Amino acid sequence: MASNLKGRIIIGTSAVIVVSVASYLIFSGIRKRRILKDIYDDLRDFKSAKGKQALLSEQNQVKGTWAFNPQFWEGKLEAKPNIALRDALTPKDAREIATNIYNAVGYFYDDESKLLAEVRKLKSQGQVSLVAYVFENAPLSYGSMSDYIISALTGWTDGEDLIKELNTYVNSLPL
């Protein structure tokens, strides 16, 4: 009887180990397939802002974000900004930031650090879009903010590292 009990314990333990190893292999395979599917879906993504930006140069990535789209802040596009974060910035403050961005660039000098500091004051892509809207429309009417910032950061130098810094910051912001 004792030998029969030992055999059952050995068989039961072996069965538990086999089932555990098989479960691990199955679930890890399913997890890997999901991860690979997400990667392949991201590679085929040409519709979202992130997917479109993957194909663009650093300078055009600035223009490809929702943040520098002057209509994004209104919430009428396919992606919607975070209303609470967007409304934390008043139009008066947006005009002040837009004016500071415009004044950071001069005829003989460009203060790139001041320009980037003004952009860093903004805490969401909706706020950046609001400033871009104010920058472009009356009463300021300075033109396209994305074009203005790109020309200011590239100016006499290459400026790719400054453009990368800007893209990294803006893309890290919540909508």
Among 5-9, 78-82, 153-157, the range of highest mean pLDDT: 5-9
Show me where the domains of the chain are located. 1-44, 49-172
Residue pLDDT, tens place only, 31-69: 888 887 887 776 666 666 666 555 567 777 777 788 898
Q: What pTM was estimated for this model as a whole?
A: 0.68
Closest CA to 104 of 125, 138, 128, 135: 135
pLDDT higher than threshold 90 for residue 107: no
Task: State how far Cα 121 lies from the chain centre.
Answer: 17
DSSP 155: T
Question: Could you tell me if 144 and 105 are in contact, meaning their C-beta atoms sit under 8 angstroms apart?
Answer: no
C-alpha to C-alpha distance for 153 and 155, rounded to whole angstroms: 6
Mean pLDDT value of segment 136-158: 85
pLDDT in tens, 61-93: 777 788 898 988 888 887 888 888 888 899 899
Residue type, 13: T
